[in-house]
Amino acid sequence: MVSDFLSERKAPLDVIINTSGFERNKAIVAAKEAVNENDETRKKFEVMCREVFIKFKACLTIPGVNAYRHQYNAINIIYKSLQKDIEQADISDIIKQLHEIINESIVAKPDKYKEPNKTYDISKIDFNRLRSEFEHSKTKNTTVQSLKSMIEKKLEQLIQRNPLRTDFQEHYEKIIDEYNKEKDRQNIEATFEALLKFVQELDEEEGRAVREGLDEETLAIYDLLAKPDLKPQEIQKIKKVAKELLKTLKEKLKGLYKFQDKEPTRDAVKVLIRNFLWDEKTGLPVDLYTQNDVYKKAEAVFYHVFRAYPTVPSPYYASVAS
């Protein structure tokens, strides 16, 4: 089944089995490119691989099973390589796929190169060169899948930290829907272009807290409290409310063990938020927010805190702080 799947896409498994060195590596790359034709082919191949692994393991005691070990090993190599692409996907790996000398396009501190959770400064990347390299790439499908994996990891982190970033998820899903509709050179290059622009948008969003003079935790609270068309002095007032509310909440939550599990403690947190935001001294400006506004904002903040603070400090902001 796996062999037929690859043969139909002109990436026969036998080439991996019967070659070595450069030719074998080339065959593995070709197989991955065939598998990565789109999300459906990728998922179908991975399901078939897992079925092979289960059946092969179940047949280990059956005489003659070792006659199929070469096929098993070749399939396992492709599968593991695909999983490795997902695990290691970041912008630096994608750039490596497209050109050899990274420093020509990126300015990065050498001592930061291998650090976990550290990525290149997106603003330093020569996107025009990446587009040019992609046009001539022989592994467009695999590159797009790697870029998707990187984006999905970054998106998950950003949304965990700030619930109002779901519009980025919706935008990303539209790009992927278009990508999966049809497969031709024009479509995949358009997808790559759209994903590159989306990476830049995510990077801008990731840096918004700094531009607002806040940290990521406070930015999430501020976004939940803010209203459209606020004037500069009003924005500063809401930022101050967000900072003080977050500080008050964290102090309260430190003394509550698993507050989500018990109704009295959940209610206590809800009341704290509502009272804080309604108080004329600490809360939202009365000339800008009605009582209904305050209650809605308090509810939104509570649900964010309920999800994002299983403990204090919150695990979702740990990597940002470090």
Q: Is the pLDDT of residue 50 over 90?
A: yes
Q: Domain boundary at 52, 87, 122, which?
A: 87
Distance from the first to the final alpha carbon of the chain: 47
Mark whether 139 and 246 lie in a shared domain: no
Q: Domain boundary at 161, 176, 206, which?
A: 206
Mark whether 18 and 115 lie in a shared domain: no
Return d(Cα 216, Cα 205) in angstroms, integer.
11
Mark whether 98 and 199 lie in a shared domain: yes
**Half-sphere exposure of 130 toward its Cβ, with a 13 Å CA cutoff?**
27
Looking up tokens 């990065």 gives 108
Span 189-202, pLDDT tens digits: 899 999 999 999 99
Question: How many independent structural domains does the chain possess?
Answer: 3
Mark whether 174 and 255 lie in a shared domain: no
Mark whether 114 and 186 lie in a shared domain: yes
What mean pLDDT, rounded, does the chain reach? 89
Give residue 100's identity as a one-letter amino acid code.
Answer: E
Mark whether 55 and 109 lie in a shared domain: no
Mark whether 101 and 191 lie in a shared domain: yes
Span 72-84, pLDDT tens digits: 999 999 999 999 9
**pLDDT number for residue 233:** 96
Span 6-21, pLDDT tens digits: 999 999 999 999 999 9
DSSP string, 11-63: --HHHHHH--HHHHHHHHHHHHHHHTTSHHHHHHHHHHHHHHHHHHHHTTTST
Both tokens of 210, joined, read 């700094």
Mark whether 223 and 286 lie in a shared domain: yes
Q: Domain boundary at 87, 110, 127, which?
A: 87
Span 287-305, pLDDT tens digits: 999 999 999 999 999 999 9
Give the residue from 32, 40, 34, 38 showing the smallest Cα distance to 79: 32
Mark whether 83 and 190 lie in a shared domain: no
Alpha helices, DSSP H only, in 138-215? 140-161, 166-181, 185-206, 208-212
Mark whether 199 and 258 lie in a shared domain: no
Mark whether 98 and 168 lie in a shared domain: yes
Q: Which domain holds residue 198?
A: 91-206
71 touches 3 (CB < 8 A): yes
Q: CA-CA distances (angstroms) from residue 167 to 39, 170, 230?
A: 22, 5, 21
Return d(Cα 2, Cα 52) in angstroms, integer.
8
